Amino acid sequence: MLALLLLLLPCLAWAQPDTLWSRNFQLEGRCYLYDVTQASEDIVVACGYRAPTGSSTNWDYLMAAYSLDGDSLWARTYLETETEESLEGIITLAEDTVVAVGYGQGGYAVSMLALRASTGELLWNRSYAPSGGGRTKARDIVKLADGRFAVAGYRLLGTSSDAWILLCEANGDTVWTRNFGGQGTDIANGILQLESGNLVVGGISRASNFSDWDQWTFEVDLNGNQVGNGLTFNGGDDDFCYSVARDPLSNYWLIGRSGTDVNGIGVVTVLPPDDAPSTLIFSSPGFSDQFRSGIAWFDGMLFVGRSGTSVTRSSFYMRAINDQHESIWTWRFGTLGTDGGLNNIAQLSDGGAIACGTMIAPEDTTSIRGYFLRVLPPAGVQGRVTGLSDGEPVPGARVFAAGQDRYTITDIEGRYRLELAPGQYDVVVTGACIESDTAYGVTIAENGLSDHDFTPGQAELTDLQSSINVIAPNHESGSATLILQNSGTGALSFSLEAVGVAPTGSWMSVSPAEGVVPVGEEAVIQVIVEADTTDDGVYDFFGHVVVHTNSCPDTVIAVPVLATILDTETPATLPNEFSLSPAFPNPFNSSTTLTLALPQETTLRLEVFNVQGRLVETLAASRYSAGNHTINIDLSGSATGVYLLRAEALGAVVTQKLLYLR
């Protein structure tokens, strides 16, 4: 026997289940596992069949047991004959005792095997071949609240069949058997007991051999009487139901697939106790998917099955959905091959799960192995992300735990759900339109789901200049200011890029090129032009400053820059005194430009007032280097009229009148 640990590494493109271990084994021949149960506090047992090498019709009953720590306990075949024998459903009947059901004698009899889980010892076996002939197969088994068990399957007579239900005492003795269905072909694949005590059966039905298959369900009381009418669900193509599951809200689910053998999709039908049924479709472009089984998971469901290039070339597949029936994550793994994938999943007493199936060996696709996968108990954090400014949901935000590789993305309603192992985490939300926010010390309990909502701040870039004008002497530098003002509720992160267009090149730069603007404050950016021409005239250079911020909806804005380069025969000297050149143009429409001379580095305050003496705009309030600086004044949005420009530096104040015409 070969046991191999497969490490399922975190994937950043989409989430995957938290797995503790996976194991595969192979006896002589091909091994398939179809159902699994927790047999005791520390043992899980699965059932299926083994096909000896070189045989396509000789199948043997197969069962295998592992500890919950992943240690192989035993794997063996039973009651070997030269015909087809398979086990497809298993329950824990009592501590250390399991009962598996299937079929033998080439499918002409239902078979039951009771074993001791700790050792694999066969305790008893039963075979049921109904009178009147026909092939009879058992597909599923459920333990009842009173200690008995019920078996679901079908009985084939000619080209049609009926669903077949068998109720047994704990020792395997028959209480009753019943056939259910119409004139066509009806097959029961799954069975469970409702809170009322009645049995609900899920399977497939079709009116004739030329009709499509439909998902089918009906209810039976413990006396074998059908309750109400059966229901069928048809999506247009063949619709299969392989198993039945129940969620915490007492809905029961028909789990299967729809479509052709090449283009399969996962399909489930939800049947609430007091509402109309609904059918859900989960497709994956480029994949042929099928659900085989499912269990309640968090407030939603976890489905297992097969996925690949076709129904018959597949490997392991899981999909988790939330209580809104929306996909949370999808997981695919393994080598594609015939019947590869997960066939069933069972809840464990610790809240986790154990799945079983068929593994295609990567080094030899003809090597078919039985497979176990232990999924850790569900744990994590969930909540909603809404903006602090507008209270609206924030879709597309990224939520992750610091130091962890896994992350999740909020949906259109701002909801998120992040699976984490038990522990304590700093949970972070980031996004293109929000300020990063952290919830410190979020405790994730074992098999628990914590709740935490985020209301991150939202930056708002306001009153950004429509353009920038710079006058620069040739071979020297000139500058103008770009003001980034944040009037939002979150810090404004920015990065700037200076792009020379005509001519191309690095004649323009910005300082600082990146930073953060706190709420209610502004950053003064120097746009610096240094040109080197051939000294034969006046030149107009054109470019733009690309502004990247976390302010939405415009996270990227290009501000045009027009630079006028003046020839100089000799290098300019530093100004002798603090002064302002006359603004040009003046009067002006939208914006005007002037040059400010500073004999030394100093703090400059530059403000615009209206004729009533009220402050209209602060153009500068920071330190400037010695030299000439080009100042752009943009009054677009202000009223037409006379304004006063006031400049204060080096203990002196200089004023100038401006006439703005809209």
The pLDDT tens digits of the residues spanning 418-436 come to: 878 889 999 999 998 999 9
Q: Does the pLDDT of residue 224 top 80, yes or no? A: yes
DSSP string, 11-35: -SSS----EEEEEEE--SSEEEEEE
> In degrees to the nearest 10, what's the CA dihedral of 112, 166, 278, 332?
0
Say what the pLDDT of residue 144 is.
95
Q: Return the higher-pLDDT residue of 361 and 236.
A: 361
Mean pLDDT of the chain: 88
Say what the pLDDT of residue 447 is.
67
The CA–CA distances, whole Å, from 476 to 414, 528, 545, 574, 600 equal 52, 10, 20, 11, 16
Tens digit of each residue's pLDDT (9 = 90 or more) over 597-613: 888 878 889 999 988 88
The CA–CA distances, whole Å, from 12 to 406, 408, 418, 593 equal 6, 9, 13, 51
Say what the pLDDT of residue 219 is.
96
Tell me which amino acid residue 228 is.
G
Read off the pLDDT of each residue in 568-588 and give the average, rounded to a whole number: 76
Q: Return the higher-pLDDT residue of 12 and 608.
A: 608
Structure tokens at 175: 């209480």
Domain boundaries, the chain: 19-377, 385-451, 459-572, 573-662
Separation CA 408–CA 416 (nearest Å): 7
Tell me which amino acid residue 479 is.
S
Read off the pLDDT of each residue in 63-88 and give the average, rounded to a whole number: 95
Say what the pLDDT of residue 170 is.
95
Residue 66 burial (C-beta neighbours within 10 Å; 0-12, 13-18, 19+) = buried
Say what the pLDDT of residue 534 is.
60
pLDDT-derived band at 573, boundaries 50, 70, 90: low
Q: Does the pLDDT of residue 116 top 80, yes or no? A: yes
pLDDT-derived band at 14, boundaries 50, 70, 90: very low
Please name every residue paired with 102 in a beta bridge, in sequence order, or none if there are none: 87, 111
Question: Are the C-beta atoms of 71 and 112 separated by less than 8 Å?
Answer: no
Bridge-based pairing of strands 398-401 and 461-462 is: unpaired
Q: What percent of the chain has pLDDT over 90?
A: 56
Q: What angle do CA 552, 558, 559 make, to 5 degrees?
A: 115
Say what the pLDDT of residue 641 is.
87
pLDDT-derived band at 5, boundaries 50, 70, 90: very low
Among 16, 635, 50, which Cα is nearest to 367's?
A: 50
pLDDT-derived band at 8, boundaries 50, 70, 90: very low
Structure tokens at 308: 């690949």
DSSP string, 385-408: BB-TTT--B-TT-EEEETT-S-EE
Radius of gyration of the chain (CA): 37
Tens digit of each residue's pLDDT (9 = 90 or more) over 293-338: 999 887 789 999 999 998 889 999 999 998 888 888 899 999 999 8
Per CATH, is 459-572 categorized as 3.20.20.110? no
Say what the pLDDT of residue 572 is.
53
Read off the pLDDT of each residue in 527-542 and give the average, rounded to a whole number: 77
Please name every residue paired with 243 in a beta bridge, in sequence order, or none if there are none: 255
Give the residue carrying structure tokens 């603007």.
Answer: 517
Q: Does the pLDDT of residue 346 top 60, yes or no? A: yes
Topology of domain 573-662, CATH: Immunoglobulin-like (2.60.40)
Separation CA 630–CA 584 (nearest Å): 11
Say what the pLDDT of residue 324 is.
85
Taking each continuous run of H as one helix and of E as one strand, the counts in the chain are 0, 52
Read off the pLDDT of each residue in 426-455 and give the average, rounded to a whole number: 91
Separation CA 494–CA 576 (nearest Å): 36
Overall CATH class of domain 19-377? mainly beta
Among 584, 498, 484, 607, which Cα is nearest to 545's?
A: 498
Tens digit of each residue's pLDDT (9 = 90 or more) over 154-181: 998 777 899 999 999 999 999 999 999 9
Separation CA 453–CA 59 (nearest Å): 54
Read off the pLDDT of each residue in 62-86 and give the average, rounded to a whole number: 94
Give, rounded to a whole angstrom, the gap between the first and last alpha carbons of the chain. 88
Residue 569: CB partners within 8 Å, gap ≥ 6?
535
Tens digit of each residue's pLDDT (9 = 90 or more) over 226-245: 999 999 998 778 899 999 99
User: CA quadruple 391, 395, 397, 398: dihedral positive or negative?
Assistant: positive
Please name every residue paired with 526 in a beta bridge, in sequence order, or none if there are none: 481, 511
Say what the pLDDT of residue 621 is.
87
Q: What percent of the chain has pLDDT over 70?
A: 95
Say what the pLDDT of residue 195 is.
85
Q: Does the pLDDT of residue 9 top 60, yes or no? A: no
If DSSP codes are grouped into helix, strand and coil, which group holds residue 217? strand
Among 1, 19, 13, which Cα is nearest to 316's?
A: 19
Among 430, 304, 296, which Cα is nearest to 358's?
A: 304
Say what the pLDDT of residue 569 is.
53
Read off the pLDDT of each residue in 564-572 and give the average, rounded to a whole number: 64
Separation CA 117–CA 557 (nearest Å): 68
Q: Does the pLDDT of residue 538 top 70, yes or no? A: no
Single pTM value for the model: 0.62
Q: Does the pLDDT of residue 210 top 60, yes or no? A: yes
Q: Does the pLDDT of residue 555 top 60, yes or no? A: yes
Separation CA 435–CA 397 (nearest Å): 11
Q: Domain 385-451, what architecture?
A: Sandwich (2.60)
Q: Does the pLDDT of residue 623 top 90, yes or no? A: no
**19-377 matches 385-451 in fold:** no
Which of 238-247, 261-270, 506-515 is the least confident region?
A: 261-270
What phi and psi values does residue 448 have, to the nearest 5 degrees? -130, 155
Question: Are the C-beta atoms of 521 and 483 separated by less than 8 Å?
Answer: no
If DSSP codes are grouped into helix, strand and coil, which group holds residue 107? helix
